[in-house]
Structure 1
Amino acid sequence: MLFDTAEAEFGGVDVVVHAAGRMRLAPVAELDLAELDALHRTNIRGTFVVAQQAARRLRRGGALITFSTSVTGLALPGYGAYSASKGAVEALTMILARELRGRDVTVNAVAPGPTATDLFLRGKDEETVARLAAQPPLERLGTPDDIAEVVAFLASPAGHWINGQVVRANGGIV
């Protein structure tokens, strides 16, 4: 297992970033339940398993960073299943931060807004992308580097006072 290897090679685990995610968009009334199960298996169960291992193995001063989405605050039609799965990630993140009381380990979620990634761009025409890019007051899509900088801060000693939070890195949309 990855955690075993990290402990054997580096003497322990200091930072865990769990960014795996799956998105399937459809109205709630139309979403196939097999798609819902697959989405939940990745977004909820996958996050839970990684968080569980991180909780068992992170050293003092460590950090766990999960990924949510700013869509949870927008309530956009078609995003019901995806948003619900990421809402579960936010709840798990906040609870785990409290469960690790006394361990000196931080647990936070990053909730990107519209970010120019394959997951975001897949299936969207240019007009849709332009409309979504215009939403934030900064009037652009986020970049993977924008999100990576937030993650790096939360993983660093400078971000260690932030704990049990959802950081909405979205250019100001919610």
Structure 2
Amino acid sequence: MNVIHKKPWAIAEREATPEAVFWNRRKFLAGVAGGSLGLGALAANPGRALAEEDPSAGLYPVQRNETFVLDRDLTQESVASTYNNFYEFGTHKEISRAAQALPIRPWTVQIDGFVDNPQTIDIDTLLAKMPLEERLYRFRCVEAWSMAVPWSGFALAE
């Protein structure tokens, strides 16, 4: 007999994503296909950004969007900022030091395809033009870990 012991922090799958967000996923995908910015979530780490190294450092911290709330404490920054999947630097999780070598500038985003105004824009110009906000998010991975973290960036719909 297989006995499953759930962890105290485990939640039901139906609680991971609010139902309204789940049902609006098709609207979101239609927007992306219709020419919205085809970008993933852009985030910045203001704690490590220095103005002379990072032209976007002055944009942070940003105002928190109070719509996004959590039902648990934030994950410790020391854990959230070092546990990652940068497979370019190795297949283990403790590679945050090696990942610091990842060049983030110059970085440009190309917007093309089914759009009215194809363009290439550098990340600093893009961030300066977008309505930045902080959201509290709960991330869950298929590898059975989860984190609750603040995220700073802009909505894909913008």
How does the TM-score come out when normalised to structure 2?
A: 0.25
Q: Identify the structure with the greater helix proportion.
A: 1
Larger radius of gyration: 2
How does the TM-score come out when normalised to structure 1?
A: 0.23
